């Protein structure tokens, strides 16, 4: 998933670099505690550990190979996604500057994909899944394993979108290719993450977060909605619904084409032209966000004054 | 021994990489000029060619898998552009004195916490490698011959054990560093002298001119 030099356009490289820089400034401020005398060795060693683990490739189908990304693992072991961001960012800087693995000009994009998106998706999903699984510490490896696998796929989709926006490749080629390979890599990531956490939970349980839940109550429903809209929508049936089937059978389906005034709809048929299957997912996420915003606005307006 | 300071070497390498990677698509003339600069840089740094060839060959194979489905015209420009960046950065990497990457990285404009983490990670990598060697030796004594055989039997528990063993040593090393006065800063100066600043400024000006030209022709 390391984007090399020359594959991103200047605007995309600049924009992703800016977003990553802002995220890192916030992360540096929020993880001051992790840089103190007590936690610094854990942060430094975890960084070295993730760097070393990324050098060990495991074979994936089709003659390609993958390696651990480690964002979820780092965030959980360090107990903070902010510290996890610092850890993965450091790994990517070392790889880009000293090993030409991942481009210098693509460093912002690579940090955004692996150090921000993968870390946060892994962290938030782990919290959500752990709560759905009962919240016990024993379920943490399972939750983290699933979350780590999903985080890789999400990061690969982000990477593919950056390549599409740069004009390097068409969405029809790069999106299925990246997603397909990274689903397999995600399985490997999930197994390694879960396995390591099982061992750490037995050998050094004090290193892992406790039973208490640190996330807010609204997180579970919001993440569940995003999972349904963004992931499950990809496997939704493409067959016509009941009314469409009847209209086809009876013969009045053509009436739908004979409208006098056509309102332009950017997400017609729950998709975006030219983006393939992933457009359903994007449309689902946009729709969920709009619905949430509208419902939130209505609730604010109609809320009783004494509430 | 080359007289170019390590931070300046890193920054000049970055100038070439950023300039070449930002070129307009299909600006072959400008790409050719960057290619000549990259080859001159590799020659100037006296990089060992067999090692450079081996590294770049492996990296290009992986890049080809990504670029070739895009068609020959697009893939050829992307691959040549990436090749120039790889020659530049690998030339810097292969001529980097041992244990000195911290000095080079210190000159980069990154936040202090990340620099401190970079330094610690660099130091702890040696600890990790040492622990891997010890675990391999233990495995060999128990009948698992060779590094490949050991790797085949590596499990999540062994990775976890490696992490914990290294963490114990890392904490001891860090405590020793703090006792000796470590405060999160590498005690080495990595600032530029006026002459080096001028060289860097000229390099940035040439690279900017060349890259901007690719968008106008």
Closest residue in B to A36 (Cα–Cα): B184
**Residue A291 token pair:** 């619905």
Task: Using pLDDT thresholds of 50, 70 and 90, give the confidence band for residue B1.
Answer: very low
Classify the complex by whether its ipTM is higher than 0.85, answering yes or no. no
- Find out whether A72 and A123 touch, Cβ atoms under 8 Å: yes
Give the per-residue SS3 of chain B: CCCCCHHHHHHHHHHHHHHHHCCCCCCHHHHHHHHHHHHHHHHHCCCCHHHHHHHHHHHHHHHHHHHHHHCHHHHHHHHHHHHHHHHHHHHHHHCCCCCCHHHHHHCCCCCHHHHHHHHHHHHHHHHHHHHHHHHHHHHHHCCCCHHHHHHHCCCHHHHHHHHHHHHHHHHHHHHHHHHCCCCCCCCCCCCCCHHHHHHHHHHHHHHHHHHHHHHHC
**Nearest-angstrom CA–CA distance, A74 and A123:** 10
Report the C-alpha gap between B152 and B155 in whole angstroms: 8
d(CA A275, CA A283): 11
Mean pLDDT of B22-26: 85
Q: How far apart are CA A284 and CA A226, in angstroms?
A: 8
Q: Token pair of A89, please?
A: 């960012």
If you search the block for the tokens 């194979």, which residue do you land on? B61
Residue A32's H or E segment, with its range, is: none
Contact with chain B for residue A55, Cβ under 8 A: no
Whether the CB of A43 is below 8 Å from some CB of chain B: the reply is yes
Q: Which chain B residues are within 8 Å of A203, Cβ to Cβ?
A: 160-161, 164
Question: pLDDT, tens digit, for every residue of B90-124?
Answer: 888 888 876 677 777 777 777 878 888 888 888 88
The answer to whether the Cβ–Cβ distance between A196 and B101 falls below 8 Å is no
B10 at the A interface (CB within 8 A)? yes
Interface of A with B in 182-211 (CB under 8 A): 191-192, 194-196, 198-200, 203-204
Each of the 307 residues of chain A gets a pLDDT tens digit; together they read: 788 887 888 899 999 999 999 999 898 888 776 666 667 888 888 888 888 888 776 666 655 667 778 889 999 988 889 999 999 999 998 888 777 777 888 899 999 999 999 999 999 999 888 888 877 777 888 999 999 999 999 999 999 889 888 888 788 878 888 888 888 888 988 998 998 898 888 888 877 776 555 555 555 556 655 665 565 555 555 555 555 555 566 565 565 555 555 555 555 565 655 556 566 666 666 666 666 666 666 655 655 555 5
CB-CB under 8 Å, B128 with A28: no
The pair phi, psi for residue A250, each rounded to 5°, is -80, -30
Judging contacts by C-beta atoms under 8 Å, the chain A residues touching residue B116 are: 35, 40
Q: Tell me the shortest Cα–Cα distance from B120 to chain A, in angstroms.
A: 5
pTM here?
Answer: 0.74
Report yes or no: A40 and B185 within 8 Å, Cβ to Cβ: no
* Owner of token pair 């807010």: A216
In this complex, the residue of A4, A94, A192 whose CB is nearest that of residue B118 is A94
Q: Which of residues 73-112 of B touch A (CB under 8 A)?
A: 74, 78, 81-82, 85-86, 89-90, 93, 96, 101, 104-105, 108, 110-111
Chain pair A-B, CB pairs under 8 angstroms? 187
Query: In the structure encoding, which two tokens stand for residue A201, read together?
Result: 């939970």
Are B70 and A173 in contact (CB < 8 Å)? yes
d(C-alpha B97, C-alpha B92), whole Å? 10
Residue of B nearest to A197 (CA): B160
Residue A6: which region, alpha, beta or left (left: phi > 0; alpha: psi -120 to 50)?
Answer: left
């Amino acid at each position: 998933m390391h984007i090399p030099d020359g594959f991103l356009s200047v605007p995309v490289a600049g924009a992703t670099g800016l977003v990553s820089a802002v995220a890192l400034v916030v992360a540096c401020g929020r993880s001051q505690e992790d840089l103190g005398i007590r936690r610094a060795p854990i942060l430094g060693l975890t960084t070295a550990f993730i760097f070393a683990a990324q050098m060990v490739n495991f074979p994936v189908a089709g003659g390609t190979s993958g390696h651990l990304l480690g964002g979820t693992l780092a965030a959980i072991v360090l107990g903070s996604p902010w510290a996890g961001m610092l850890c993965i960012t450091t790994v990517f800087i070392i790889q880009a500057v000293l090993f030409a693995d991942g481009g210098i000009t693509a460093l912002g994009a690579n940090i955004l994909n692996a150090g921000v998106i993968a870390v946060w998706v892994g962290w938030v999903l782990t919290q959500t899944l752990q709560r759905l699984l009962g919240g016990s510490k024993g379920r943490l490896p399972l939750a983290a394993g699933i979350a780590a696998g999903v985080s890789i796929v999400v990061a690969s989709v982000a990477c593919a979108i950056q390549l599409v926006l740069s004009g390097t490749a068409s969405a029809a080629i790069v999106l299925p290719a990246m997603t397909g390979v990274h689903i397999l890599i995600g399985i490997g990531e999930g197994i390694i993450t879960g396995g390591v956490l099982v061992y750490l939970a037995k050998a050094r349980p004090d290193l892992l977060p406790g039973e208490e839940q640190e996330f807010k109550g609204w997180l579970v429903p919001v993440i569940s909605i995003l999972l349904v809209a963004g992931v499950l929508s990809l496997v939704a049936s493409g067959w016509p619904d009941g009314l469409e089937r009847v209209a086809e059978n009876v013969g009045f389906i053509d009436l739908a084409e004979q409208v006098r005034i056509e309102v332009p709809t950017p997400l017609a048929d729950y998709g975006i032209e030219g983006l393939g299957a992933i457009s359903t997912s994007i449309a689902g996420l946009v729709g969920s966000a709009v619905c949430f915003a509208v419902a939130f606005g209505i609730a604010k307006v109609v809320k009783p004054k004494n509430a | 021994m080359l007289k170019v300071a390590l931070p300046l070497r890193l920054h000049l390498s970055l100038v070439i990489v950023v300039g070449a990677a930002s070129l307009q698509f299909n600006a072959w003339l400008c790409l050719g000029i960057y290619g000549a600069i990259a080859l001159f840089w590799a020659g100037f740094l006296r990089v060992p060619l067999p090692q450079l060839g081996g590294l770049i060959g492996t990296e290009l194979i992986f890049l080809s898998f990504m670029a070739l489905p895009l068609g020959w015209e697009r893939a050829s420009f992307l691959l040549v552009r990436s090749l120039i960046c790889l020659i530049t950065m690998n030339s810097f990497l292969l001529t980097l004195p041992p244990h000195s990457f911290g000095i080079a990285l210190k000159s980069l404009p990154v936040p202090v916490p990340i620099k401190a983490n970079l330094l610690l990670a660099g130091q702890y990598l040696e600890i990790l490698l040492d622990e891997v060697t010890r675990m391999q030796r233990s495995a060999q004594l128990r009948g698992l011959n060779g590094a490949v055989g050991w790797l085949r039997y590596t499990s999540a528990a062994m990775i976890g054990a490696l992490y914990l063993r290294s963490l114990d040593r890392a904490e001891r090393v860090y405590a020793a560093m703090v006792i000796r006065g470590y405060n999160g800063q590498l005690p080495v100066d990595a600032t530029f002298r006026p002459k080096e600043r001028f060289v860097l400024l000229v390099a940035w000006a040439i690279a900017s001119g060349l890259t901007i030209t690719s968008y106008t022709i």
